[in-house]
Amino acid sequence: MSVRRNRVVASIVVASLLSPGASLARPLFPSPLLFQVAPARPEIARAQQQISDGDFEEAVKTLEAGLDAPDVTDDQLVELYRLLGLTSLYLGDEARAREAYEMLLQARPDYELPRTAPPKIRTLYARIKEDIKNRRVRPVTLQVDPIPDAEGGTPVMAEATIQDMALGARARLFYRRAGAQAYSSVDFTRDRANKERFIATIPAYELPATASAYEVEYYFEVADAAQRRLAGRGDAFNPLVFQIAPEPGTVATSSERPWYKSPWLWVAVGAVAVAGTAGAVVYATSEERGRVPITIRVNP
């Protein structure tokens, strides 16, 4: 009886050693779901190896180098942040792990950790997801100065400071010559030296020098992958304006403002608005009444 039992136990042990899927040991890198597979990237492979070797500090450096690379795809970013979160937890840096998982979730709100992920990671991940659901994650903040008036025929550069930029989000500068129907746009690019500093440039050919001055309407917008506005200054209906000066040597003429920017028009609109408001107030304060039938009763 005991011989048979020993034989059964031995066969289970051998089978588990031969088959990784049946092994009792948890793999360090559980295979992700098929739809979450990211394309291979040297930094990812190298970081995985460094994590396997227990060289976590080097792994963090490798991952940060991977995140700084200019040609990283969204899938690769997700994988880089996932590994960065994992490595940071191994190093006991929960704050950085949290930051990494937040970035991951901002890019892929539906991302799920593999079921085989360590419980500590799963707990932290669940907490972060809950925070995001309850909107406790810091919003994107955009600080940008208005574009000053410029010379024609020269590029115009806008600098912005964007904090807590969501992964997968785009910061763009929209612009159009005043009176034109559609906006063009240029992307803000991240400054290599300062991760919160972004620069966008309107090319010179979009701002030709002309005999008379003209205005350019513009606005800034940070939007997520679903084109939801996360932050901005101005918008398509309430744009900011800068002016392109007339070509040197030409007789200065008054800027060609579109009809709707005429001050007289807005004086008239203001007068109408004041009159309308006054009318509304008069109407609201007029003694409009309603008849209320009342039955009075007296106790006998």
Contacts to another protein by CB under 8 A: 287-300
CB of 276 to another protein, least distance (A): 21
d(CA 38, CA 40): 6
CB of 275 to another protein, least distance (A): 24
Among 242, 244, 241, 250, smallest CA distance to 213 is for 244
The b/e string for 89-110 (b: 16+ C-beta within 10 A; e otherwise) is bbeebeebbbbbbbbbbbbbee
All residues at 6 or more sequence positions from 88 whose CB lies less than 8 Å from its CB, including other chains? 60, 94, 96, 97, 100
Q: How far apart are the first and last CA of the chain?
A: 101
Q: Which of residues 95 and 292 has its CB atom nearest to another protein in the complex? A: 292
Among 101, 78, 106, smallest CA distance to 89 is for 101
d(CA 207, CA 87): 48
SS3 label, residue 240: strand
Q: Which of residues 34 and 284 has its CB atom nearest to another protein in the complex? A: 284
Q: Which of residues 1 and 284 has its CB atom nearest to another protein in the complex? A: 284
Q: Which of residues 4 and 297 has its CB atom nearest to another protein in the complex? A: 297
Amino acid at the residue 163: Q
d(CA 141, CA 220): 12
Q: Which of residues 203 and 279 has its CB atom nearest to another protein in the complex? A: 279
CB of 284 to another protein, least distance (A): 10
CB of 279 to another protein, least distance (A): 18
CB of 277 to another protein, least distance (A): 20
Sheet holding 141-144, edge to edge: 141-144, 156-163, 197-202, 189-190
Q: Which of residues 24 and 296 has its CB atom nearest to another protein in the complex? A: 296
d(CA 230, CA 227): 9
- Backbone φ and ψ for 120, nearest 5 degrees, come out as -60, -40
Q: Which of residues 71 and 288 has its CB atom nearest to another protein in the complex? A: 288
Q: Which of residues 205 and 283 has its CB atom nearest to another protein in the complex? A: 283
CA angle at residue 125 from 62 to 108, to 5 degrees?
Answer: 70
SS3 label, residue 208: coil
